Amino acid sequence: MNAKERFTTRVDDYRKFRPHYPAPLLGLLRRECGLTPSSVIADIGAGTGILTELFLEHGNPVIAVEPNAAMRAACAELAAPYPKLECIDGTAEATGLPDASIDFVTVGQALHWFDRRRARQEFARILRPHRYAVVLTNERHMGPEPFFVAYEQLLREHGIDYQRVKATYPSISDTLEFFAPAKMHMAIFPNHQDFDFEGLLGRTLSSSYMPQPGHAGHEAMHAALMHIFERHQMQGKVRMMYDCRVAYGQLT
């Protein structure tokens, strides 16, 4: 399936159950990169606006660039409380934005879907001189805790093309290469989500490789997920933990 269309039927689960980004990263960008509420943000591959909303709450004007119409429509709903939002149809490789018009280019959880060489050229084109690109990923803990091990095994056994998608996730060396020859800086923030079973199911179905209702593999996946939840829940909840990695630097 075309990468730009993989999430069309998963918009609600994505918006409700994907992890947000820790607010302290704004302090990092203020200290290290000169972020102010007037900085113009281009959030690339904005999806439903999870990262977009963090900058809107900070007071920034944000241009959310998203090629998927359903996800872009969900993101556009943020314009009601945040009039500084503009949503446009575009890609990382062809944003449609003017040269040297942006203070920060941000990417949340989407770098692995891009042609990184072409995206870097596009980001360098739209950034103002001495401004910053920021790449964020919420990296899920996979072990050694039994719940994390069991959940990873579920994805391997029931994911439609989980291994293929996982192989595209950029490593730290891939991200260094994306910023090169400019210098990349990195910080890590702890992050987590607490889920009842409905939330854990929604988080699972927000991933493009998991079988949705109507797919031949959905019922078996649902039963396996329920078994994992029942074994590892405490007071009706399980905790999904992440390292939020923030890579940032100037591209020229």
Amino acid at 186: M
Which residues, 6+ apart, have CB-to-CB distance to 230 below 8 Å?
A: none
Is pLDDT at 252 greater than 90 in this prediction?
no
**Torsions phi, psi for 218 (to 5 deg):** -70, -45
Answer yes or no: is 56 within a domain: yes
Give pLDDT tens digits for 28-76: 999 999 999 999 999 999 999 999 999 999 999 999 999 999 999 999 9
**Is residue 143 very low, low, confident or very high in pLDDT (cuts 50, 70, 90)?**
confident
Hey, what's the torsion of the CAs at 55, 56, 58, 61, to 10 degrees? 90
In a domain, 176, yes or no: yes
Query: What rounded mean pLDDT belongs to the chain?
Result: 97
**What mean pLDDT do residues 115-131 have?**
97
Rounded to whole angstroms, the Cα distance separating 72 from 158 reads: 28
Structural domain contains residue 209: no
Instruction: Give the residue-averaged pLDDT of 8-20.
Output: 97
Q: ∠ CA(41), CA(44), CA(46), 5° rounding?
A: 95
Q: What's the pTM value of the predicted model, to 2 decimals?
A: 0.95
Assigned domain for 222 exists: no
Note whether residue 228 is domain-resident. no
Q: What is the mean pLDDT of residues 205-221?
A: 97
- In the chain, the percentage of residues whose pLDDT exceeds 90 is 97
**Separation in Å, CA 125 to CA 67, 87, 93, 120, 130:** 19, 19, 11, 9, 12
User: Which 8-state DSSP code applies to residue 98?
Assistant: P
Distance CA 166, CA 208 (A): 11
Judge whether 125 lies within some domain.
Answer: yes
Residue 225 covered by a domain: no
Domain range for 116: 3-141+168-194+240-249
- pLDDT surpassing 80 at residue 185: yes
Report the percent of the chain where pLDDT is more than 70.
99
Count of domains forming the chain: 1
The answer as to whether 100 is a domain residue is: yes
What is the model's pLDDT at position 127?
A: 98
**CATH number (domain holding residue 102):** 3.40.50.150
